[in-house]
């Protein structure tokens, strides 16, 4: 039977000792899970190793840890695959999740971070008006859509590796915002506007996400939290016209209008426009703050005064405005949600297209 080395990060905060690494050898078939490896260590070598687990079938969400630096469920990660991806001489490196305080070894305090944030988004249905006589009827497509967020098992893997939360611990974060979409996308909920307004106005809300995609890769259930955050922004800004005090929606619209005008991004306009225009009271302190950056750019010939004032590509993009008007002029936005539709392309059609 093959032997695997588990390199486990040990830490007991109240001991006063610094965290340290400890190697354990386990003999198990490669298709057995990292969790089984840890439990074998616990059962046969050192009962004090701390790990939280329950179902062992990737549904309870208890055993998320970092394996070789990436957040994963220990119960659905094969030992052989983990060893293949080792960056440490074949040793499987197991650490607690990030962004949450460690209680003991691989156990983090989910209450202190994850559950607080979930509570923050009012994670229950707030229907309006009298309930229907019988059941609520929800269109199939809406229901399939929100099942993506409902698939969350609250394991915290996305929270662990959220790069915004790393620098701003108050960020509501991927799991809770995906949960927020579950209600914003549910036609039975009557508080969509209020929910969105709240999440857009919060300085650590939907506009605090940096588009890093870590949560999409981290999620073992395909929830794609970042995609849900982008949909919250789209619905808040474009459907409900919520102008937040974080300049989130203004920045998006400044960007879109910038491209409609210029074809290529004209950075010199984007910054003031994101704050409401060069002469807006909100823009002035920001622009003053950015002045040294602009001066440095000019000094290093990154930007010439001419380029800052005139966009060199403007004339090449006359046709674009018509295209923008056509798409933006639709009564309803057209969106392809691959979670609902899947990759449905007809191979014969694709083949036909490939012919010149």
Partner 1 sequence: MKVAYWPGCVSRGFTPELHGAMAKVAPLLDIELLELDRAACCGAGVIAEHNQELADTLNARTFALAQQTDGELMMNICSTCQGSMSECQERLDASSDYRRHINGNLGDEGLRYARGVVNKNLAWLLVEEIGLDELRSRVKRPLENLKVGPFYGCYIVRPTERLGIDSANPRDTYLHRIIEALGGTVIDYAGAYKCCGFPIITMNKEASLKQAGRHLSDAVDADADCLVTPCPLCHLNLDLQQPLAERVVGREIGMPVLHLPQLLGLALGLDPGELGLARHVVKPTSVIDWSNAVVGAAAG
- Residues in 193-212 at the binding interface with partner 1, rule: CB under 8 A: 203-204, 207-212
Residue 55 within binding range of partner 1, rule CB under 8 A:
no
Site for partner 1 in 19-48 (CB under 8 A): none
Residue 319 within binding range of partner 1, rule CB under 8 A:
yes
**Distance from C-alpha of 4 to C-alpha of 93, rounded to nearest angstrom:** 11
- Of 135 and 346, nearer to partner 1 (C-beta) is 346
For the CB of residue 121, give the shortest distance to partner 1 in the complex, in Å.
19
For the CB of residue 274, give the shortest distance to partner 1 in the complex, in Å.
4
Check: CB of residue 93 under 8 Å from CB of residue 68: yes
Site for partner 1 in 247-276 (CB under 8 A): 247-248, 251-253, 255-256, 259, 263-267, 271, 274-275
Residue 115 within binding range of partner 1, rule CB under 8 A:
no
For the CB of residue 7, give the shortest distance to partner 1 in the complex, in Å.
17
Q: How many residues bind partner 1, per CB under 8 A?
A: 78
CA 326 to chain centre: 31
- Of 43 and 69, nearer to partner 1 (C-beta) is 69
CA 13 to chain centre: 29
Residue 5 within binding range of partner 1, rule CB under 8 A:
no
Residue 306 within binding range of partner 1, rule CB under 8 A:
no
Contacts of 339 (CB under 8 A, 6+ apart): 144, 145, 148, 222, 224
- Of 234 and 278, nearer to partner 1 (C-beta) is 234
**Distance from C-alpha of 198 to C-alpha of 289, rounded to nearest angstrom:** 28
Question: Is the C-alpha dihedral spanning 331, 270, 272, 319 positive or negative?
Answer: negative
For the CB of residue 167, give the shortest distance to partner 1 in the complex, in Å.
4
- Applying CB under 8 A, which of residues 128, 133, 135, 335 lies at the interface with partner 1? 335
Site for partner 1 in 225-244 (CB under 8 A): 230, 233-234, 237-238
Residue 334 within binding range of partner 1, rule CB under 8 A:
yes
Per-residue HEC secondary structure of 300-334 comes to CCCCCHHHHHCCCCHHHHHHHHHHHHHHHCCCCCC
Task: Return the half-sphere exposure (C-beta side, CA atoms, 13 A cut-off) of residue 148.
Answer: 25
Task: Return the half-sphere exposure (C-beta side, CA atoms, 13 A cut-off) of residue 143.
Answer: 5
DSSP 8-state code for residue 132: P
Site for partner 1 in 120-159 (CB under 8 A): none
């Amino acid at each position: 039977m093959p032997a695997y080395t588990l390199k486990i990060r040990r830490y007991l905060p109240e001991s006063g000792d610094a965290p340290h690494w400890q190697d354990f050898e386990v003999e198990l078939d490669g298709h057995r899970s990292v969790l089984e490896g840890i439990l074998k260590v616990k059962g046969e070598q050192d009962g004090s190793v701390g790990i939280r687990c329950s179902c062992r079938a990737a549904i309870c969400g208890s055993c998320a840890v970092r394996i070789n630096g990436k957040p994963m469920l220990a119960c659905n990660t094969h030992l052989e695959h983990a060893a293949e991806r080792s960056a440490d001489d074949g040793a499987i490196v197991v650490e607690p999740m990030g962004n949450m305080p460690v209680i003991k070894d691989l156990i983090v305090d989910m209450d202190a971070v994850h559950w607080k944030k979930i509570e923050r988004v009012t994670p229950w249905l707030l229907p309006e008006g009298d309930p229907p006589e019988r059941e609520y009827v929800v269109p199939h497509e809406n229901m399939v859509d929100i099942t993506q967020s409902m698939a969350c098992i609250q394991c915290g893997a996305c929270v662990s590796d959220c790069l915004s939360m790393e620098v701003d611990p108050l960020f509501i974060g991927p799991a809770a915002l995906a949960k927020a979409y579950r209600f914003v996308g549910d036609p039975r909920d009557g508080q969509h506007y209020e929910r969105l307004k709240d999440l857009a106005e919060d300085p650590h809300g939907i506009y605090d996400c940096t588009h890093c995609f870590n949560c999409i890769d981290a999620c073992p259930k395909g929830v794609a939290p970042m995609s849900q955050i982008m949909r919250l922004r789209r619905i808040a800004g474009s459907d409900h016209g919520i102008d937040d005090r974080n300049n989130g929606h203004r920045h998006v619209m400044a960007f879109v209008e910038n491209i409609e005008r210029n074809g290529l991004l004209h950075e010199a306009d984007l910054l003031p426009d994101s704050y409401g225009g060069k002469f807006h009271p909100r823009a002035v302190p920001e622009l003053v703050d950015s002045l040294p950056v602009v001066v440095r750019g000019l000094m290093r010939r990154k930007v010439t005064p001419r380029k800052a004032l005139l966009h060199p590509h403007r004339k090449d993009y006359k046709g674009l405005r018509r295209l923008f008007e056509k798409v933006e002029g639709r009564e309803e936005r057209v969106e392809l949600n691959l979670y609902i539709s899947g990759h449905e392309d007809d191979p014969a059609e694709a083949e036909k297209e490939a012919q010149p």
